[in-house]
Amino acid sequence: MAKPARIDRFLQLWERFWFEEIPLDVYALLRIAFGAVGLISLFGLMPVSNFWLPDSLIPLPDGGLGVQAFLFRNGFGEVAGVALFVFILTCFTCMLVGFRSQWAVVGAFLGTLALSFWNSLPLAGGNEVLSVLMFYLIWADCSGAPSLDAWLAGRRANRSRAATRTDSIWPLRLIRFQVAYIYLNTGLWKLLGDAWRDGSTIHYVLGLNGFQRFPIDIPAAYQWALTLGTYVTLAWEIGFAILILLPWTRALVIATGIALHLGLWFTLELGPFSPIMLASYIAFANPVRVPEFIARLHLRSTRPDDAKRDPQRESPANVVDPSTV
């Protein structure tokens, strides 16, 4: 009798872990964040004449299904390049404002995939990360507030009824697993590099013109900080998947990641990787707490005199999901 009871308990935990219903707010925030990051990355590929047209910085069509070669050969390359740009721009904009949210996410995902085949030269690893994360977001209901979809639905239905909409947690779980895997895989791969093991990576990266956002000259007296930063980065990436599970290290891990990516974004030309990873941290918020946290921020901004302060409930630490991964 004990064994069937344990099996039932395991199945219940499995069911809850993957299929628990959560409010839509966290998916809406991820949609907004990925839409904003997608627009930022797209603006980095402008003007259109530089990366989207047949006579721009674009590789000669070769391999694949031959669609690009057919378009170029028959004089449709310029029209197709502009159409692809407008299509991706429209999808990311719709994601940002929440109009036809589900179709916008699907379109943005397909558009970023098409871009990788159309012209991979200006793309960085961050574009691939964004595509993967949007693939998971396709399977979630992203039409929650704040969005035009929710606003339009609220005009047709009861507000309280719209506020209770939920969706399964499993796409959120997969986004969390993907982020943890990215860090773990990157950290283990870096262990193979001599510069990471001897602590000199940041020193050399900051000195490379291909990565510098602007010239940086670190005095010799502060080289120890670069060495320490190299080892901290390596340890943080490898330990992220485990440390994010522990309640007493979770906030520190997220704070370190925010500081790390802001530093990378400010000093190095790495494409959209840093803003994409920062946007993905929304997935580690407690989805049950997110609606309450948003409501309190909205209440404070609209009725500051009537809002009742509750520091413990408003603390960012209480917004982090206790069952993060």
Cis geometry, peptide bond prior to residue 275 (ω within 30 degrees of 0): no
**Which pLDDT score is estimated for 157?**
65
Token reading at 126: 């961050």
State the Cα–Cα distance between residues 50 and 227, nearest whole angstrom: 38
Count of Cβ atoms closer than 10 Å to residue 53 Cβ:
19
Averages of pLDDT over each 10 residues, the chain, 325 residues? 78 92 94 96 90 87 78 91 96 97 96 91 86 96 89 69 77 97 96 94 86 81 91 96 92 95 90 93 93 75 50 50 55
239, 185 Cβ separation under 8 angstroms: no
* Global pTM value: 0.85
Please state, in angstroms and as integers, the Cα–Cα distance from residue 60 to each residue in 50, 98, 123, following that order: 14, 37, 16
| Structure token pair of residue 13 | 């935990």
Instruction: Report the relative pairing of strands 166-168 and 21-23 from DSSP bridges.
Output: antiparallel
Q: Where are the domains of the chain?
A: 20-167, 169-284
Please tell me the distance from the alpha carbon of residue 292 to that of residue 297, in angstroms, as a whole number.
Answer: 9
DSSP 25-38: HHHHHHHHHHHHHH
pLDDT of residue 162: 47
Tokens of 12: 């219940």
pLDDT at 222: 86
Q: Are 169 and 203 in contact (CB under 8 A)?
A: no
Which helix (H) or strand (E) is 124 found in, with range?
Answer: none
According to the model, what pLDDT value does residue 301 have?
56
pLDDT averaged over the chain?
A: 86
How many secondary structure helices (H) and strands (E) does the chain include?
17, 2
Q: For position 25, what pLDDT does the model report?
A: 92
DSSP 75-102: T-HHHHHHHHHHHHHHHHHHHHHTSSHH
pLDDT digits 0-9 by tens, 161-201? 445 689 999 999 999 999 999 999 999 999 999 999 999 99
Determine contact, residues 94/34, Cβ cutoff 8 Å: no
What integer pLDDT is reported at residue 313 of this predicted model? 47
Is 44 within 8 Å of 195 (Cβ atoms)?
no
What is d(CA 165, CA 30) in angstroms, rounded to the nearest whole number? 17
Nearest to 323 by CA among 11, 13, 8: 13
Residues 6+ apart with CB under 8 A from 258: 278, 281
